[in-house]
Chain A
Amino acid sequence: MNLLIVILLFLALLLSRVTSLKTAVNVLLAQSALVALACTIVAVDTGEVHTYVAAALTLVVKAGLIPYALYRIVGMLRREREDHPILNPNYSAMVFGCMIVLAYGLIDRALPGVVSRDALAAAVSMTLIGLTMIMTRRQAVLQIVGLITMENGLYLVGLSVTKGLPLIIELGVFLDVLVAVVVLVILTYRLKRSFMSTDTSRLKKLKG
């Protein structure tokens, strides 16, 4: 489990330096697969059927359908990359590192002495890193990757504090995430057609 957490944090840090869209999706795929693995480990521990189902769904939805949709759109956006990020990769890595420290600080204050301290801290830092990514990246696809990272983080939070939400709610969450990605991919495709680019910093017409 600890090894898993270390790899997950490493992947999250890796996202801070990624400028190519395809690499970002690769990292996301690896991340989601690891989250599914973590879920399976919890399932083996508790022996609950619904945790197995959740693990299988994570694998299918987050490591299967979502990356597939993203690969397709990235295939269409051959020349797009993050050219001038708001934070350059070095600062970005530093900020992401700070997020991990912040997450540990938060956990120790809000839930002192919780059993799954490291897993929870990793989950919260993934959420924060996802949020930072949405705010500091201009490329539409990278923002989507940030969103899924955030969602993966939240999923891990649920997994580490309550062994996951009830199955029916979990199903709804998966459906929502999947549809959200489909909607965002449609919008990204349209952005490319209308603006000749998927750089969201061009979206600044509506003001006041």
Chain B
Amino acid sequence: MGQLIVLALVLPLVTGALTMAQSGQQAIRWINLAGGSLTSLALLTIVYHVATEGVVNAGSLYVDQLTAVVLIVVALLTFTAALFSQSYMEQEVVQGHISLKQLKRYYGLFNLFVFTMICVLVTENMGMIWVAVEATTLSSALLVAFYFDRAALEAAWKYVMVCTVGICLALLGTILLYYAQVNASIGQIQALSWLALKSVSQRLDPGMIKLAFVFILIGYGTKAGLAPMHTWLPDAHSQAPSPVSGLLSGALLSCALYAIVRTFIIAKSALGVAFPEQLLIGFGLLSIVIAVPFILVQHDLKRLLAYSSIEHMGLITLGFGLGTPLAVYGALLHIVNHAVTKSALFYLTGAIIKQYGTKHMMRIRGLVSAAPMVGCMFVAAVLAIAGLPPFSVFYSKFTIVWAAFHSGSPWLGAAVLLLMAGVFAGMIYYTLKIAFGPAPSRVSTGYRPGVPALVAVSASMVLMIGTGLYLPPWFDTLIDQAVVIVTGGGL
């Protein structure tokens, strides 16, 4: 299994390197499609292996059930984003927005970005997780700035500055964690190894761990888009090319949350549950509260989706903060569901923006009549992300809210429900305006998003509805086992 993990790490690098060496557009297309599919396949095999056989621990590479849940997200999104990029970037080249050289740079950075995200997940060492999380910022920064126009530059500058400062605080937290580990261990230690930290967690100095957890939460919370450190997120998500927005929102935020959860497990064991859980609930609730007004008064389609991501990240953090097995189950399931649904929405938005030539929601009208296929899927995906059954997001949202009521804080549950109603109202209001009515005459009805793009989105739609109706038993068991890891059962 260790070799397969190495393969999954090497594949994106090889794909990126091969892409840079090509000169034909067709060759680039096929290499990336093959590379993306193979990476995805390798990751899913690892996930399935972990679900059926148990934890893989190969030296510094380590994949347990918690990792596997987030690996599913990266696997699925790598595939759909690579597929969607085919159509999207090809049209950019045909329309003359980018040159072949830029196309190569795009795929090179895209694969590097995927590589860094896999790195975050498969390392077992808190220090290496820090290195990998910072690497995700750097590899995606030039993707955010891809078009190098004024807005993209502004978004990228804020992205790098805010996230790097945030991540510096996480480094401080990591140093403190190491300090606590050095003081608590006797003799030779495996520095910052998560398993080693967990085994001595009872002996770690609580004051130091408290400090470390706060710094790490703020640091990785910046990357996960938790309020009030979320300011980079709407800018970066709205300016990046659409496939990248999907990847940022679905996969990158999940990876950052994963880093928080790893620290959270240590902190809970060293400090007791109260302090870390209250902190997560606080940040989670604040993120939802902050997202609502921006969703209600929004003019830019991609920013609308970005604020919705902040809301969902808040909800997931809240779920982890509640700490009951039910809530954690909901939170883990929601990571997967949100990623699949939100990435599909960003892809669809990419197609819509291509057709209408604007991100401004006031200028997008009559989508269903102008582009029936994209329009219907867009409406369905918005209903899904807003949390209507039978889509999968409904079940995970419902589980988290249910757990909030169950865990003895009905007010919290009621508040979250109320806020979610606000988000729902905003999303549906704008979607109805965009989707229905006559299309403006200047919009051509002849635009085709391309077969790969439609396949990518349809695959996500099938997953959205499919997992809403039926969860495969191995997947259910996988999440159950991940819940045990988070809530502090055995290793």
**A140–B211 CA distance with the chains assembled, in angstroms:** 31
Tell whether A194 pairs with B158 under 8 Å between CB atoms, given A150-B165, A166-B191, A203-B153.
Answer: no
**A162–B174 CA distance with the chains assembled, in angstroms:** 12
Contact residue among B182, B207, B211, B294 (Cβ-Cβ distance under 8 Å from A208): B294
For residue A184, CB closer than 8 A to chain B, the reply is yes
**A157–B142 CA distance with the chains assembled, in angstroms:** 30
Chain A residues with CB below 8 A from B172, complex form: 127, 154, 157
Q: Shortest beta-carbon distance, A68 to chain B, in Å?
A: 19
Q: Shortest beta-carbon distance, A49 to chain B, in Å?
A: 15
For residue A165, CB closer than 8 A to chain B, the reply is yes
Contact residue among A147, A165, A203 (Cβ-Cβ distance under 8 Å from B157): A203
CB pair B156–A165 under 8 Å, yes or no, is no
Chain B residues with CB below 8 A from A101, complex form: none
Q: Shortest beta-carbon distance, B142 to chain A, in Å?
A: 6
CB pair A172–B127 under 8 Å, yes or no, is yes
CB pair B165–A131 under 8 Å, yes or no, is yes
**A157–B176 CA distance with the chains assembled, in angstroms:** 9
Which of A110, A162, A191 counts the most chain B CB atoms within 10 A? A162
CB pair A180–B175 under 8 Å, yes or no, is no
CB pair A176–B134 under 8 Å, yes or no, is yes
Chain B residues with CB below 8 A from A162, complex form: 175, 178-179, 182
For residue A206, CB closer than 8 A to chain B, the reply is yes
Chain A residues with CB below 8 A from B138, complex form: 176, 179-180, 183
For residue A187, CB closer than 8 A to chain B, the reply is yes
CB pair B182–A110 under 8 Å, yes or no, is no
CB pair A165–B150 under 8 Å, yes or no, is no
Chain A residues with CB below 8 A from B191, complex form: 165-166, 169
Tell whether A206 pairs with B157 under 8 Å between CB atoms, given A154-B175, A165-B175, A169-B130.
Answer: no
For residue B171, CB closer than 8 A to chain A, the reply is yes
Chain B residues with CB below 8 A from A173, complex form: 130-131, 134, 171
Chain B residues with CB below 8 A from A140, complex form: 157
Contact residue among B149, B151, B158, B178 (Cβ-Cβ distance under 8 Å from A165): B178
Chain B residues with CB below 8 A from A91, complex form: none
Stretch touching chain A among B244-252, B295-303, B310-318, B402-410: B295-303
Mask for B191-206, Cβ within 8 A of A = 1, else 0?
1100000000000000
**A172–B119 CA distance with the chains assembled, in angstroms:** 12
Which of A157, A173, A180 counts the most chain B CB atoms within 10 A? A180
Mask for A143-178, Cβ within 8 A of B = 1, else 0?
100010011001001100110011011001101100
Chain A residues with CB below 8 A from B20, complex form: none
CB pair B175–A187 under 8 Å, yes or no, is no
Residue of A nearest to B178 (CB): A162
Q: Shortest beta-carbon distance, B97 to chain A, in Å?
A: 16
CB pair A154–B168 under 8 Å, yes or no, is yes
Tell whether A150 pairs with B145 under 8 Å between CB atoms, given A157-B175, A169-B130, A190-B153.
Answer: no
Interface residues of A in 189-208 (CB under 8 A from B): 190-191, 194-195, 200, 203-206, 208
Tell whether A183 pairs with B153 under 8 Å between CB atoms, given A110-B207, A161-B179, A165-B191.
Answer: no
For residue A186, CB closer than 8 A to chain B, the reply is yes
CB pair B157–A191 under 8 Å, yes or no, is yes
For residue B33, CB closer than 8 A to chain A, the reply is no
Chain B residues with CB below 8 A from A154, complex form: 168, 171-172, 175
For residue B160, CB closer than 8 A to chain A, the reply is yes
**A66–B293 CA distance with the chains assembled, in angstroms:** 42
Contact residue among B127, B155, B211, B299 (Cβ-Cβ distance under 8 Å from A166): B127
**A187–B159 CA distance with the chains assembled, in angstroms:** 11
Tell whether A203 pairs with B175 under 8 Å between CB atoms, given A110-B211, A194-B153, A195-B150.
Answer: no
CB pair B142–A186 under 8 Å, yes or no, is yes
CB pair B178–A208 under 8 Å, yes or no, is no
Residue of B nearest to A188 (CB): B157
Q: Shortest beta-carbon distance, B84 to chain A, in Å?
A: 24
Chain B positions within 8 Å of A, measured between CB atoms, are 125, 127-128, 130-132, 134-135, 137-138, 141-142, 145, 148-151, 153-158, 160-161, 164-165, 168, 171-172, 174-176, 178-179, 182, 191-192, 207, 211, 234-235, 238-239, 294, 297-300, 303
A-B contacts, 26 of them at CB < 8 A, read: A131-B165, A140-B157, A157-B175, A158-B175, A161-B175, A165-B192, A166-B191, A168-B127, A173-B131, A175-B131, A176-B135, A180-B137, A183-B138, A183-B142, A186-B142, A187-B141, A187-B145, A187-B153, A190-B153, A191-B157, A194-B148, A203-B154, A206-B151, A206-B235, A206-B238, A206-B239
Chain A positions within 8 Å of B, measured between CB atoms, are 110, 127, 131, 134, 140, 143, 147, 150-151, 154, 157-158, 161-162, 165-166, 168-169, 172-173, 175-176, 179-180, 183-184, 186-187, 190-191, 194-195, 200, 203-206, 208
